[in-house]
Structure 1
């Protein structure tokens, strides 16, 4: 029997990459999925793919940095789709600029990355919290290997800080919301081939090699590699799991 029947799952950043794969995976497990993305066209196309495969899907444009828009959309979804019982905070960006590079660029990186990766996770969660409490729901945050370590490549300090923050936010909410029956967990992807890093992969093979040489499984991940952990954390298979992060990094943190 499908694992997510009767659930309504909202996924941010669902127009591409990991978010798109998770939304499709949830739909295969019987959930009605609500795909949210700042790129309205991409979200609509992904929702149509879900429907074409026999699933139930709706899509909406959402800028997770806009707190008022998050609140308004949560109400719209509650009124038109139903109460969200699974929330996946996946929307995120990364930029690989050294902290000692152009000061204006470093400041913009910090502001943009924090606004989307960390404050955006707060905004969306806060907007849906009453629905999640009412349904004794599940929150799945997308962290990173950089929720623990700064990877062995030049990178933006802002991204590492933001993903440490996502893990801290996950643990804090798990401690607070457990009494309401809401479980809060995270997934820590390693190097995953997505549109977010397509340009880096194409233009910087040496950087890719650094990641792969440090990954025991010897390959980059695919968005589909994150779907299994996401289903586990959203389903009753993980009924006694909260405040945890499931690493899906090919073993990166073991060596």
Structure 2
């Protein structure tokens, strides 16, 4: 393992870890195997079994937190909770924040789409990314760390947003947020990048689309995220890596 992909003595925050078989789980496993301390944030409580698994993989310290990251106030609350949980080991430093929290949904033709469904896509994808960034930015600045966001190939040039205008628009907003963070925070030594995957082989996607669809493997996504959070990417900021 490259020493530049060794995250010992670093605290990584991962949002939207989700249920078993989802991409957030693979990302958490990847960082645990590389020696990172982890703070997991999700809308739903994480099991003690998951925490124990991550420690067995190599994470020295793991904390699990419940928050509605679409609510800016709740994001600030949980950021303070994370800092308290890891203060003895990391002080006020957060070395990377991986914004996995989000979700997909078709909204259909524009004239047929429900305003509530449009608002939901912005809430779970863009609002969560904004509130998380805002809440953790002081700790990431202190560590001269990085943010890794999840966009979508649907929000990239040439990507298809057919029947999913709300999702593509929300993910476009996430990519704009990422670029702004990269520009605004460069002087503070903070980097920001994004991955833009096609369909990822998750339990949910396989259940919905079958096992033979053209998937990106969860572990491949996790490896790219680790690269973007590592010193190997010290000169990479403001970039979108398409994973197909």
Alignment TM class, shorter chain as reference: 0.7 to 0.9
Which runs of structure 2 are paired with 1:198-213 in the superposition (5 Å)? 198-202=206-210
TM-score by length of 2: 0.88
Residues 107, 166 of structure 2: 8 Å contact kept: no
Residues 34, 58 of structure 2: 8 Å contact kept: no
Residues 149, 194 of structure 2: 8 Å contact kept: yes
Q: CA deviation at 1:221?
A: 1.6
RMSD: 2.0
Q: Does 1:39 align with 2:44?
A: yes
2:195 maps to what in 1? 187
- Within the candidate set 12, 16, 24, 2:15 is matched to 12
Describe the superposition over 1:150-191 as per-residue Cα deviations: whole angstroms up to 9, x where unpaired.
755753211000111111111111001000000101111111
- Within the candidate set 67, 77, 80, 1:75 is matched to 80
Q: Does 1:166 align with 2:174?
A: yes
Q: What secondary structure does 1:41 align onto?
A: coil
Q: What secondary structure does 2:138 align onto?
A: helix
Equivalent pairs, count? 233
- Within the candidate set 48, 53, 78, 1:49 is matched to 53
Which runs of structure 2 are paired with 1:1-255 in the superposition (5 Å)? 1=3, 3-16=6-19, 17-41=22-46, 44-56=48-60, 57-82=62-87, 83-100=93-110, 102-103=112-113, 106-149=114-157, 151-152=159-160, 154-202=162-210, 219-249=214-244
Residues 5, 30 of structure 1: 8 Å contact kept: yes
Q: Which moved more, 1:71-80 or 1:149-158?
A: 149-158
Residues 94, 113 of structure 1: 8 Å contact kept: yes
Residues 137, 181 of structure 1: 8 Å contact kept: yes
Describe the superposition over 1:131-166 as per-residue Cα deviations: whole angstroms up to 9, x where unpaired.
011111110001111121575575321100011111
CA distance in 2, matches of 1:97, 1:195: 22
CA distance in 2, matches of 1:126, 1:154: 31
Q: What secondary structure does 1:76 align onto?
A: helix
Residues 100, 150 of structure 2: 8 Å contact kept: yes
Q: What secondary structure does 2:227 align onto?
A: helix
Which consecutive residues of structure 2, in runs of 5 or more, have no partner in the other structure?
88-92
Residues 46, 65 of structure 2: 8 Å contact kept: no
Residues 35, 47 of structure 1: 8 Å contact kept: no
